[in-house]
Amino acid sequence: MATKSHPVTRHVVSINDLSKSEIETIFDLAQAYLTEYSDPNLPERIGRSSNLAPNYILASLFYEPSTRTRLSFESAMLRLGGTFITSADPTTSSAAKGESLADSVRVITNYADVMVIRHPRDGAARLAAEYSSIPVINGGDGSHEHPTQTLCDLFTLKKKNKRLKNLKVAIAGDLKGSRTIHSFVYALARFGADIVPMAAEGMELPPHVDRRLREEFHCNFVPGDGSIDALYRTPEEPHQPALFSGPDFELSVNVPGGNLSPGEEAVQRRKIDAVYVTRFQKERWAEAREGYPKIDAKFLKDAKYSHASVLHPLPRVDELDASLDSDSRAVYFEQAAYGVPVRMALISLLLGLQRGKSLRKFEGGFEAEDVPVYDQPLNAGIRCANANCIVHEPKESPYVRNKFHIVKSESDKGCRLRCLYCETDIDRFFVASRKNKWYTDDTSELLHARDPGIKDFLAFADEADAVNRGFHSKRHSAARASQR
């Protein structure tokens, strides 16, 4: 099909492409840069340039508006002593002539050493990575992920709290459309923080994100108690009630602890360490919303926020009151400033600039099992259920295939299909055997297939499709076989 990625090229499309130890390496290097190249008057800000990446070129490829992501990447590259080229306006690029992302990426890899890409479609960054021979960094793809924002967020949390483990982090606003939230919750779960979701109405975490938190990152979902809506408790460390005492942990509300264990009660009573506020992602929703939560001084008067850092990926619109700017808990401008050292560190590691330190050259750094991939052409069988996924972009149709990770279900013996690009799940589907001519809703057939690709099996979204393609129900086949 297409030019294969260079085998040793490393991409950062999802926060889960980085292992925890790699993230710690990035933070150590970011802190080292911050110490060495800070502005003497503003020590939390990079104020001088280095000569670490002389003449290396970053390509900024932005198909959606951006100020801070693009400029902070470009500033980071300059602070490393490198340079950049920019295509920031789809209306003045070859996209206006109808060029596919796959083609644009293959061309631009010849002009630069590392690439950051932003795109309105979920999964676009993974597609770009498939076609790139230089490292691709996801600068935000639709509602999917924004991993470098999460690196800045985590770095800020760590600077403010000296640790990531056992933090209690509230996430407020549009948890559905915000890509920063999706990368962030995966990282919080993996680093052992508890997550308190505070969604605007109808903007809860998408089902596939919720399930990954519970099934893959083994969060324990604890329902709300009146004080908080709910809690994802991470399994990283046993939560011992004894740990939660002292002034930080005074109760501010009555907890109806009836059906909670003492440990769970203690976690719920713990104060919030950080509130992460997100903007209503108007570009991802057809209509404006009323009743979006607003974080202001009054909200933060609740004793459980007395020590809570307030983070926001910015830009903000109305959801974070300007009166908080002078509040010592407000850290969002520091968070923005950390974008430079954190991105310097990531670029430096991807380019192999630090002797003895680098990101391992393999696809996906997170210690994930080697998940089998179901791969079929566009014109056969099931397609990603997410209408905003890059696989549904007409311009890309010659360059994408229907590719799904086959993910074993925790709840039954079957499996789910997770789109390789946008990571949305398909829970219920039908599996057809080309050899045996039957189809079935028993998805474990696919899970146990030796070669789960198109050769043996076809997957269908509904039964009628399978029938139309000339397959018969496996039960009927079995029945008929037994009748004979």
- Residues in region 324-363 near its own copies by CB under 8 A: 325-326, 333, 336-337, 339-340
Written as six digits, the tokens of 180 are 């920063």
Report if residue 45 touches its own copies, rule: CB under 8 A. yes
Burial of residue 274, with CB atoms counted within 10 A of its CB: 0-12 exposed, 13-18 middle, 19 or more buried: buried
475 is catalytic: no
Report if residue 104 touches its own copies, rule: CB under 8 A. yes
- Give least dist CB 140 to its own copies, A: 12
Which residues touch 122 (CB under 8 Å, ≥6 apart)?
141, 142, 143, 144, 386, 388, 389, 390, 421, 422, 424
Which residues touch 473 (CB under 8 Å, ≥6 apart)?
438, 439, 440, 463
Written as six digits, the tokens of 181 are 């939230």
For its own copies, the binding residue among 71, 230, 251, 467 (CB under 8 A) is 71
361 is catalytic: no
> What does DSSP assign to residue 378?
T
The answer to whether the beta carbons of residues 168 and 196 sit under 8 Å apart is yes
User: Strand locations in 324-382, DSSP E?
Assistant: 373-376
118 is catalytic: yes
Q: Which one, 81 or 263, has the nearer CB to its own copies?
A: 81
- Give least dist CB 452 to its own copies, A: 23
474 is catalytic: no
Q: Which stretch binds its own copies (CB under 8 A): 92-100, 139-147, 250-258, 442-450?
A: 92-100
Q: Which one, 110 or 411, has the nearer CB to its own copies?
A: 110
Segment 263-282, which members bind its own copies (CB under 8 A)?
279, 282
Report if residue 152 touches its own copies, rule: CB under 8 A. no
For its own copies, the binding residue among 21, 28, 35, 49 (CB under 8 A) is 49
Instruction: Choose, from 25, 69, 109, 443, the residue flagged as catalytic.
Output: 69
Segment 3-22, which members bind its own copies (CB under 8 A)?
3, 6, 8
- Give least dist CB 336 to its own copies, A: 5
68 is catalytic: yes
* 319-322: long-range pairs with CB below 8 Å, 24+: 319/172, 319/173, 319/277, 319/278, 319/279, 319/280, 319/292, 319/293, 319/294, 319/295, 320/277, 320/294, 320/295, 320/296, 321/294, 321/295, 321/296, 321/297
Instruction: Choose, from 11, 119, 146, 233, the residue flagged as catalytic.
Output: 146
Report if residue 283 touches its own copies, rule: CB under 8 A. yes
Catalytic residues: 68-69, 97, 118, 146
